[in-house]
Amino acid sequence: MANAGGDADLEKAIPEDKKGDVKPGAAVVETGKGEQEVDFKTLTAEEAFQVLGVTHEGLTSAEVQKRLAEYGPNKLPEGSRNPILVYLGYMWNPLSWAMEVAAILAIILLDYPDFCLIIALLVMNATISYREEASADKAIKALTAALAPKARAMRDGKLEQIESSGLVPGDVILMAIGNIVPADVKLLGEVGDDVPMQVDQAALTGESLPAKKFAGDVCFSGSTIKQGEKHALVYATGQNTFFGRAASLIAGTHNVANLQKIMTRIGGVCLITIGVWCIIELGVQFGHYNHSCYLGEEKCPTLTNMLVIIVGGIPIAMPTVLSVTLALGAFKLAKEGAIVARMSAVEEMAGMDILCSDKTGTLTLNELTVDKPNVVVVPQGMSTEEALKYGALSANISSQEPIDVVMHESHDGHQTLWDHYKQVKFVPFNPTDKYTIATVLSNDEGGKPYRLMKGAPQVVLRNCYNVADIKDHVESKITEFAGRGYRALGLAMAEGDDRGDTRWEFVCLLPLFDPPRHDTKATVEACREKGIDVKMVTGDQLLIGKETSRQLGMGTNMYSTEALLEHVEDEKKLGELVEHADGFAEVFPEHKYEIVNILQKRNHMVGMTGDGVNDAPALKKADVGIAVDGATDAARGAADIVLTQAGLSVIITAIIGARKIFQRMTTYSKYTVAMTFRICFTFGLLTVIYNFYFPTVLIVLLAVFNDGAMIALSKDKVVASRLPNHWALPSIFIVGIVYGLYLTLSTWVLYYVATHTSFFQRKLKMNDLRYKPRSYLEDHCRRFAIPGAGFSTVGAAVPGTATRAYPDINWEGPTPSLLDQCVVEQEYVRQSMTRTLLYAQVSFSGQAVVFVVRTAKHSLAVVAGSLTYIAFFAAQIAALLIAALGFDGYVEPAYVVDDCKFCRYSGGDKVFAFAGVAPQANTEALYSASVIGCTYYIVVAIIWSLIWYIGLDPIKWAMMWILNEDGMRDMAKHKLSQDRRQVTAKDPNENTVGGMGSGGYANPLGRASVAGPLVPPGEAGAPALARASVVGVKHSSMGPAGPGLARQSITRSSLEQKQM
């Protein structure tokens, strides 16, 4: 029967006398690309058939194959990425480049241990980052899964069930209740048909109620048929559908994580620093000190020493530490009901200053409800609940029509209502009469009949006997409800059945609305207190959006998409409009996407909440996409954060958690930048001034122990900032340089005192580490070392060559004198011990900086987290043990003497934990950066570090004053502002860090999270603001009259495309 009825409708769609006689149409315009752009919403059925070149009998199999070749299958393109290339991509950034150069240099020099350590860190960074990011195809696959798998189409004059992927423009299909609309279609049938289809398109457009669709209307792919049955003409398939455009926007969106940009900038500065020091070192070492260099293990100490600058100058553990910190923070957020799909979104949420939110299902419950406090009851003495009872009696609950369900359930006693009444007749709604009539019998009154009319309030009012008396009052309320965006229903009652005259009495005016979630208003207020502007972006009607916004206290400065179109030519005015608006209504996915894009271009960090397919593109585009509880697969797939608890209050919890995580990350960033500059300047200066080399292995261990301990910062005690956080990199770099130079000074003074004076020997009776000037060691050898080894001297002279001590050695260079070999061995031991002393001091004083940069107050006055202290002491105990015990003389020089005769402490004792292998004199072997334990000198390193630590807090305050961090110099001038780029207010009780930008001073970087204009795939320069029912139709698919159809109702955005 369905088929027969459908065929009859199709026959009516194109009357025989009008076939081939279509007048010039309205919604067609040439694109200049071999196709026409058509607005099928405004075309008549006859014109639609003409444009697509088909008849009511559908397509033939041959025509289907032709159109499949032209338009492609009715499915979204399935893209995928090679996981190996994706993984390798995480090794292609400035931070990784320096590590890769260091690894290559290490393997060339046959430095296998350092090579393995560097590669291990590189792989660890890439692995964590790879696991962090979700597949880019996830959102596309979710959208694809939502497409209808089957469809019934007319093929070769017969109705056949086919795969929906086989549909093409021009197909005629049959849709019935429960079906998912498989493509964008135009409904067929006789215009004026009184029986509409109920189509649920809330996930696409945000409309709360299923839409009534009559013959001639369009339906979008992905909608669900709730009631009715009709034939339809397919006009768009796959990626060209309204649904497909959402997928295209997602596929064309490639956000670069803000954290990745920050690390790239930090890496860029570090690379410049490394480059400068490498050039200086190469010039000085080869040009001034005349070092030689040969390939082979430890045959080119100069290049090996450059690994110290390359590895130490780049924060090699930064990606690992920040990723782990984010991962641990994300795990904690998950416990609060916010699952983080993209961990870097946590950092972006901390800086979020604008939150765009969908209305239906996000701010509201997506449940149509009677607003009981605003029900207007007309008869005197009748209560609101009694009026709602009559409303419940007017409902036909067997049809499950949404308004009938709402009317029925709004009465508190609806569960027992039908114990007292019986419905005997129901006249459904039709677009001509615009009301329904229910006839019920009262069981309690002996079957007394009542008739109840509900529908358009003006129509119901006209049918009432007392219309003259109540007209002004009721119409004023109708106008008020319309202005507030309510869907108003009129309700009237009459005694008796439909025989004889009916005396209708107006009962009440019922306002229907989609109520806000219970916690939405509190969430909006909390966001504003935290410096976040909330904007509503909804597909619902403007007046409805304004009323919801008014109830939530969000402001009613809202616009429809027409306002966007009016300013599309003026980017500045368009940006100002979007920035200052409280929200937008009647928007499609393209509009939401573009609104987010415009705000990002104006240096805002934008968040987006949503639940439907129509929100997916904007969720993907936003810096932080948040899918609410109960969201569609498409929304969850596109989102960065997925809420698992009902309501929006968890967003505030997530924001607070994100800001705490951000402060911990900033603490680490300031620490690691300071350490980077400190290592570069410390060992760069020691190398070029004193020809002193340092082992790469200790630098790598420094990063492993100290940076690894920084993971404990993820549990550090911090207070979330009151305003959005921003990276103030210039401040971080300036402060890092100052800290770095100060700590460099501390290390240089220690080095000078230990190697150029006998202070520790004279004052503390410790083993002497002094080896400058050379004459000092020569004197020591003559007086103590050579006689102590059993070799005679003649006065101040030392006769003979080193062969006296090592008769079996094949000397690499000229045979050195015995005095020269003694000096080399003494210098070798003292330098090797000095390296571990400096390692202990650099490690202890460097990691202690973290306690200074984590707070604006005195570092000792603010208690850190217990794990931070535990990690600090654990890392330093490990570092001090390494410094005390050394590595048994590792790295062994290339040219050595075994069982060295003069490798003793200044007091004559044998060196502790030392294999006894020393370099030959007159070779480059002296400059091998070997490591010997400094034993009790670690106490000197600790005390020395504590003394210099005292000056760090005053330096911090001085820098805060100079840079005006946290508004230190003009606190009185600070005030809250909607312009997030100029917010400077600061909570004096917060333990925030200078340079974070959370109200410190104007963000010097701006927030261009995603730059560049919107260019949907395949259409360079295509406008983002387009009407959903406008599609391109190729000339080869048109009927004879198609190209001749003229244009009536095309969108302004289409005009924009023609002018580009």
Summarised one tens digit per residue, pLDDT across range 46-97 is 888 988 889 888 899 999 999 998 888 888 766 566 778 878 877 887 777 8
Q: Using the predicted structure, report yes or no on whether residue 589 has a pLDDT greater than 50.
A: yes
The secondary structure of 36-64 as a DSSP string is EEEETTTS-HHHHHHHHT-BTTBB-HHHH
Between 337 and 1051, residue with greater pLDDT: 337
**Residues with catalytic function:** 358
> Mean per-residue pLDDT for 22-30?
42
Lowest mean pLDDT among 5-19, 224-238, 461-475, 927-941: 5-19
Q: What pLDDT is attached to residue 882?
A: 96
Q: Using the predicted structure, report yes or no on whether residue 326 has a pLDDT greater than 90.
A: no
CB neighbours (10 Å) of residue 969? Answer: 14
Lowest mean pLDDT among 439-453, 714-728, 891-905, 986-1000: 986-1000
Between 341 and 1, residue with greater pLDDT: 341
Q: d(Cα 288, Cα 301) in Å, to the nearest integer?
A: 15
Amino acid present at 881? L
Q: What pLDDT is attached to residue 312?
A: 81
> Mean per-residue pLDDT for 683-696?
94
pLDDT, one tens digit per residue, over 502-546 is 899 999 999 988 888 888 899 999 999 999 999 999 888 888 888
Percent of the chain with pLDDT over 90: 38
In 3D, which of 846, 785, 849 has the Cα closest to residue 818? 785
Residues 6+ apart with CB under 8 A from 388: 370, 372, 375, 410, 411, 412
Q: Using the predicted structure, report yes or no on whether residue 948 has a pLDDT greater than 50.
A: yes
Q: What pLDDT is attached to residue 707?
A: 79
Residues 6+ apart with CB under 8 A from 400: none
CB-facing half-sphere around the CA of 1003: CA atoms within 13 A: 23
What pLDDT band is residue 979 in, cutting at 50, 70 and 90? very low
What pLDDT band is residue 136 in, cutting at 50, 70 and 90? very low
Q: d(Cα 999, Cα 247) in Å, to the nearest integer?
A: 38
CA distances from 411 to 370, 385, 389, 393 (A): 10, 7, 5, 9
Between 881 and 270, residue with greater pLDDT: 881
Burial of 942 (0-12, 13-18, 19+ CB in 10 A): middle
Cβ-count burial 983-1003 (b if 16+ within 10 Å, e if not): bbbbeeebbbbbbbbbbbbeb
Q: Do you find a cis peptide bond into 1023, omega within 30 degrees of 0?
A: no
**CA-angle at 1023, arms to 1019 and 1025, nearest 5°:** 135
Between 1005 and 22, residue with greater pLDDT: 22
Q: What pLDDT is attached to residue 1039?
A: 52
Q: Using the predicted structure, report yes or no on whether residue 434 has a pLDDT greater than 90.
A: no
Q: d(Cα 815, Cα 452) in Å, to the nearest integer?
A: 119
**DSSP β-bridge partners for residue 326:** none
pLDDT, one tens digit per residue, over 296-325 is 778 888 888 888 888 888 776 677 777 777
Between 770 and 707, residue with greater pLDDT: 770
What pLDDT band is residue 247 in, cutting at 50, 70 and 90? low
Between 111 and 213, residue with greater pLDDT: 213
Q: What pLDDT is attached to residue 132?
A: 54
Q: What pLDDT is attached to residue 803?
A: 92
Cut 0.95: pTM above it? no
Residues 6+ apart with CB under 8 A from 520: 363, 364, 552, 647, 648
CB distance 593 to 1014 below 8 Å: yes
CB neighbours (10 Å) of residue 332? Answer: 16
Q: What pLDDT is attached to residue 91?
A: 82
What pLDDT band is residue 1010 in, cutting at 50, 70 and 90? very low
Percent of the chain with pLDDT over 70: 82
Burial of 468 (0-12, 13-18, 19+ CB in 10 A): exposed
> Mean per-residue pLDDT for 224-232?
85
CB distance 355 to 607 below 8 Å: yes
Q: What pLDDT is attached to residue 199?
A: 86
Q: What pLDDT is attached to residue 943?
A: 97
Q: What pLDDT is attached to residue 379?
A: 92
Q: Using the predicted structure, report yes or no on whether residue 982 has a pLDDT greater than 50.
A: no
What pLDDT band is residue 939 in, cutting at 50, 70 and 90? very high
Q: What pLDDT is attached to residue 883?
A: 96
Mean pLDDT of the chain: 81
CA distances from 678 to 188, 892, 929, 1002, 1020 (A): 76, 27, 19, 28, 48
Q: d(Cα 827, Cα 781) in Å, to the nearest integer?
A: 11
